Structure 1
Amino acid sequence: MWKYKDRFDLNHAAVGGGGCLTSTHLFPCSSCHLLILSISLRFAPQNGRQFHSVSLNSTSSLLGATSINSASLMAALLVALLAVLIIPLLTFLLFAAKRPYSHLQRSHGRRLPPSPPGGLPLLGHLHLLGSLPHRGLRSMAASCGPVMLLRLGQVPTVVASSAAASEEAMKTRDLAFASRPSLRMADRLYYGTRDMVFAPYGERWRQLRRVCVSHLLTQRRVLCFRAVREQEVAALLDRVRGAGGAVVNLSHLLITFANAVVSRATFGDAGYGLGGGDGVGGAKLRKVFAEFEELLGTVPMAEMVPWLWLVDVVTGLERKARRTSEEIDRLLERVITDHRRRRRGARRVGDGEDDGRDFVDVLLDLSETEDEVVGEVQLDTVTIKATILDMLAAGTDTSYTLLEWAMAELINHPTQMRKLQDEIRTAIGVADRITEDDLPKLPYLKAVIKETLRLHPPVPLLLPRETLEDTELQGYHVPARTRVVINVWAIGRDAAIWEHAEEFMPERFAADGEAEYHKMGVDFRFLPFGAGRRGCPGVGFAVPANELALASLLYHLDWEVPVPGGGRPGTTASLVDMSEVNGLSVRLKRALLLVAKPWSG
């Protein structure tokens, strides 16, 4: 009845039917027929009992060809075999590549954001990102506009690169953009995202955020760690002075400082060796935690292109993630066990916020209080571990990179360096040390830190969000379950809203009074820590330590780049190389090596 009946017989639809018929429909079928016929001729039955080889040349007349020699037929067999193996695989891969975008295709004619040219099958626009995605995305936005749609492997991603778009996503329509996508590495390292930072939006996330904001990161609790910050700044200065005028690796010293402040606030005075010294495991624990942060800044291939999961196995990424998560878990288990043992042997610590309790103590207290079991949240041991990791990861890498970039910019801009040192030394006078009471007298210091954050936000592409529902962004339709990335690095360097956008000019912030930080998260031109429901709640914890460290380094010491061959300071050879490297945060590609000389005062 039908010329090509198998196109419409749904019981015989190996390569599709109706509107889904593939363009290769006839090719694999004819190839399969050729293969079957050739094999049957090669081993033709005789007398119905045995199979004997038949010369391939004898098939020429049977196939209706004028002449088919052995080599040609073998080539045909090879093509047929490849068709049988490869065509179904390609069909599957093309189907798999389209499947994640099915919700985009059901937009019913609504306008989606534009996409840059050059996308590849299966990989999409992944190859266009480069080694520094924040720069690659800004280049694409220059031609596509401030809102664009990328296909990163099998992950549809909307990228916003303007202040107006970020305000709409994080303020006007904040709820619609408030969730987190499933991130493979975060899921592995954070116990299935049992933490607050990577948890999807919902009742559990709301209660975890309340725990962090109302109990861990309150202003009073931040103040109770003042002695920790001042002690660690003094230790940082001692390490620099201990070099005796030789070259110091300031990057390494700043990492040690940031780790010490955060680990002591989290674990107590011991710090478990994360901030230097032997501690419990000492150098090994610091190495493991460095691997943890490195992994957290890594995007596995399987996350973007799931069928390439074997790449992560072959490269050792899966094995490394598993080993690191196990070692981190052993550390956290030891910390919690030690705290519980100590608490059993002493009177329960009071509930005041100035009692010197560390974060682990606070979380254990909450876990023992019945009214803190709210909604979907119970502060069990796993949730406490995941919350501790939030505190450690958010407070270390981002803090030290801020100080590193600030020192690098000041070295390369000696006029601003002298201006800041003059402000500090004039305001403080002659003193053994700077305290946090002195910080309100240093408005230009705040301006320098804000300008550093504008040019070098610790996380240039804010942690990705995911839409909870169909919504809009700058007039474009954004379907539910779409990943959304805010390029705050590009916004901070947008020449349309910043004068001399690429230049280091702290004066732009000094002009607005005391250059306080209250505008962060409110002024959508300047979003180093995000905004809205997903804004970072730990800004108040990080700022005092950064201000005190930078002010102390510049008050007590004069700095310069070691110039090879005794060259003259201030020349091109004496400038810091500002090349970047990507990771959990974007930092200097090369360690910051400087020479420090005591200020004679």
Structure 2
Amino acid sequence: MTYIQEMEMVLMISLFLTTLLTLVLLGKFLKRNTTKVNRPPSPWRLPVIGNLHQLTLHPHRALKTLSLRYGPLMLLHFGRVPILVVSSGEAAYEVMKTHDLKFANRPKSKAVNGLFDGGRNVVFGTYGEFWRQMKSVCILNLLTNKMVASFEKVREEEVTELIEKLEKASSSSSSENLSECFVTITSDVTSRVALGKKHSQGDTARDFKKRVRQIMEIVGEFPIGDYIPALAWIDSINGFNKKIKEVSQAFGEIMDKVIEEHVEAGNRKEDFVDILLSIEGDKDSGLQAGRNDIKFVILDMFLGGTSTTSTLLEWTMTELFRHPECLKKLQDEVRSTMTPNTSYIKEKEVANMKYLKAVVKEVLRVHPSLPMIIPRLLSEDVKVKGYDIAAGTEVIINAWAIQRDPAVWGPDAEEFKPERHLNTTLDYHGKDVNYIPFGSGRRICPGIGLALGLAEVTIANLVGRFDWRVEDGPNGVDSDIAESVGLDICRKFPLIAFPSSVM
């Protein structure tokens, strides 16, 4: 065969393969375009910004209002990013149970990248082996029922200190800022069990508490640059980028001090930080955790142990003040259960207080600490409730809307009514997706026991040891239940009340 013949043969084969490939691709293209894609209902959106203009300062409320019109499974667009909003337990079941693995990732926002190095932590981390290992370390060394029980003495000492402060206010007939008290007690308990000592004194402590609040506000925002890259410059002008940098640097310095103190004291393995540092230096552990990773995990535990727990305490006392009949009923239970002639109500007594537990459950229903569960990211195409959801879609589960659904909770779903929990087996672990204050599935909050252990014993002592009075007016409890902004939703204004000791 001559050279020309060989070239002709090569050209013919190439032409045949090219034609075949073209036909295959054309077939796929035609099939894809003839297959109807069934997307969830969507509100009308503006060019470029999509549905961003429909968010308010309180997105959980705005999204619930939209869902009443467009349904419990709704597709929005924030700029170029598709957002699936889930507003019913039935739809949430498919996301957090049926297809949990496909929805197990987290989107990487500008805030997460700036504060947590793209998610090198448990809360915002990418689902995978590193995330599983770090979560396991946190649970085994801080969050198991056994570990939570071992911190009982710490809780008793800090609650006793709070009681002494309230006794002084009672003696002088003065008011007390309960919001500040709750931030302090949760911060102190978390510091002692996770960091080895209290960090509640001086300027550093005040800065620490301020930064915690700022982090929750930052990660709860919807910065324009996350959704419309061409407008990312706006985040520089409005100070968002600067705020991330300042808070990240401030917390980094605080964490550096905490770690340095432990390094100088030697590898004692006495607290959570010591354990994390020992893992960092253990090449046989299989966990590739660097010093920054340790900082982020410590920050995880501190945020989870302070902000959301103080918010729970704040809303519990707020609702009890707003519903004096519930406060009286709880006081009767606590005072009839507690050991006579004692100055402190112990956790073994709290364990038998059914109405107290009903009150806490109801507060977490109407005021979940995280109204919108931390967003998830879909890793592959999936069908949910018959709708086609594309990979790369971010998912917002509106727990606040789900837990106020009248179809599930009845016509009084908006009312605070602890009695609804007295004869149910409902728990906090997300088995019933109509009640998910801590989430559900693989990404459920692992610190449930730590939060409730402190919250229940604190509430029992506050209502058992004191009668309470709040003043009417601009900041009175009945006229002021305005919400703050952020990932967690605490009161916008501090809760001020007058304690009166009954001991």
Question: Does TM, normalized by the shorter one, top 0.5?
Answer: yes
Give the corresponding residue for 1:410.
320
Q: Deviations over 1:330-387 (max 9, x none)?
A: 111121111011016xxx44xxxxxxx32101212223333322xxx41221111111
Measure how far apart 1:593 and its partner are: 1.2
Deviations 1:184-206 (A, max 9, x none): 10111112311111112222222
> 3-state SS of the aligned residue for 1:156?
strand
CA offsets, 1:184-240, max 9 Å, x none?
101111123111111122222222222222333122221222111111111222222
Residues 107 and 596 of structure 1: CA distance in aligned 2, closer, same or farther (over 3 Å) = farther
Q: Distance in 1 between matches of 2:477 and 2:97?
A: 44
Amino acid across the alignment from 2:484: V
* Dislocated runs of 4+, deviation >6 Å: none
What is the aligned residue count?
468
- In the alignment, the residues of structure 2 paired with residue 251 and residue 523 of structure 1 have an alpha-carbon distance, to the nearest angstrom, of 31
Aligned partner (choices 338, 342, 349) of residue 428 of structure 1: 338
| Residue in 1 that maps onto 2:272 | 359
Mapping of residues 328-407 of structure 1, within 5 Å = 328-343=251-266, 348-349=268-269, 357-373=270-286, 377-407=287-317
Distance in 1, Cα, partners of 2:187 & 2:362? 24
Query: Does the 8 Å contact 1:529/1:539 carry over to 2?
Result: yes
Q: Which has the larger radius of gyration?
A: 1
Deviation string for 1:455-501 (max 9, x for gaps)?
A: 01011110000111111111111111110111110010000000210
User: Is structure 2 residue 393 aligned with structure 1 residue 482?
Assistant: yes
Q: Which one has more relative contact order, counting CA pairs under 8 Å at least 6 apart?
A: 2
Distance change in 2, residues 1:107/1:289 (3 Å): farther
Superposed CA deviations along residues 287-310 of structure 1, whole A, max 9, x for unmatched, are 334333332333322112222111
Within 5 A, what are the aligned runs for 1:485-504? 485-499=396-410, 500-504=412-416
CA–CA distance in structure 2, aligned partners of residues 516 and 478 of structure 1: 31
Amino acid at match of 1:111: N
Give the 3-state SS of the residue equivalent to 2:288 in structure 1: coil
The alpha carbon displacement at 1:516 in A equals: 6.9
Q: Which residue of 1 aligns with 2:9?
A: none
Instruction: For residue 535 of structure 1, report the CA deviation from its aligned partner.
Output: 0.6
In the TM superposition, what whole-angstrom CA distance separates every residue of 1:234-270 from its partner, at most 9, and x where no partner exists? Answer: 122222222232121111111111111112222112x
Please state if 1:124 is matched with 2:47. no
Partner SS state of residue 74, structure 2: strand
Whole-Å separation in 1 of the counterparts to 2:496 and 2:34: 54
**Does structure 2 retain, via aligned residues, the 8 Å contact 1:561–1:575?**
no
Structure 1 residue matching 2:468: 3-state secondary structure: strand
Measure, in 2, the Cα distance between the counterparts of 1:293 and 1:491: 22
Question: What is the rounded CA distance, in whole Å, between the counterparts of 1:146 and 1:564 in structure 2?
Answer: 38
With over 3 angstroms needed to count, the CA separation of the structure-2 counterparts of 1:564 and 1:461, relative to structure 1, is closer
SS at the partner of 2:497? strand
The residue matched to 1:463 in structure 2 has which SS?
strand
The answer for the alignment partner of 1:21 in structure 2 is none
CA contact (8 A) 1:128 1:136 kept: yes
In the TM superposition, residue 400 of structure 1 has moved relative to its aligned partner by: 0.7
How is 1:550-561 mapped onto 2 (pairs within 5 angstroms)? Answer: 550-561=459-470
Q: Does 1:506 align with 2:418?
A: yes
Please state whether the residue corresponding to 1:587 is helix, strand or coil. coil
Counterpart for residue 27 of structure 2: none
Whether the aligned pair in 2 keeps the contact of 1:412 and 1:576 (CA below 8 Å) is: no
- For the 8 Å contact 2:280–2:289, the answer to whether it is kept is yes
Taking the aligned partners of 2:111 and 2:397, their CA distance within structure 1 comes to 20
Q: Where in structure 2 are the equivalents of 1:557-568 lying within 5 Å?
A: 557-563=466-472
Using the alignment, how far apart are the partners of 1:277 and 1:551 within structure 2? 26
Q: What are the residue-to-residue correspondences of 1:161-310 with 2, within 5 Å?
A: 161-243=87-169, 244-269=172-197, 271=198, 273=199, 276-278=200-202, 281-310=204-233
The aligned residue for residue 24 of structure 2 is none
Distance 1:555 1:576, change over 3 A: farther
- TM-score, normalised by the number of residues in structure 2: 0.89
Which secondary structure does the structure 1 equivalent of 2:85 belong to?
A: strand
Residue identity matched to 1:161 = S
The alpha-carbon deviation at position 286 of structure 1 amounts to 3.3
- Which residue does 2:499 correspond to in 1? 596
Answer yes or no: is the 8 Å Cα contact 1:185–1:299 preserved in 2: no
Q: SS of the counterpart of 1:397?
A: helix
1:523-538 alignment runs, 5 A limit: 523-538=432-447
The separation in 2 between residues aligned to 1:509 and 1:238, in whole angstroms, is 32
Match of 1:451 among 362, 365, 369: 362
- How far has the Cα of 1:158 moved from its partner? 0.3
Contact 2:472 2:479 in 1 (8 A): no
Q: Is the 8 A contact 2:96 2:103 kept in 1?
A: yes
Q: In the alignment, which residue of structure 2 is the partner of 1:585?
A: 488
Q: Secondary structure at the match of 2:140?
A: helix
Equivalent position amino acid for 1:300 in 2: P
Q: Which one-letter code corresponds to 1:488 in the other structure? A: A
CA displacement at 1:441 relative to structure 2: 1.4
Structure 1, unaligned runs of 5 or more: 1-104, 350-356, 566-571
Residue by residue over 1:423-449, the C-alpha shift from the partner in whole angstroms, topping out at 9 and shown as x without a partner, is 000000421101112111111111000
Distance 2:34 2:262 in 1: 54
Equivalent residue letter for 1:548: V
Does the 8 A contact of 2:372 with 2:487 survive in 1?
Answer: no
In 2, distance between residues paired with 1:170 and 1:574? Answer: 36
- Against the structure 1 CA distance between its residues 296 and 265, is the aligned structure 2 distance closer, same or farther, given a 3 Å change threshold? farther
Q: Is residue 2:30 matched to residue 1:110?
A: no
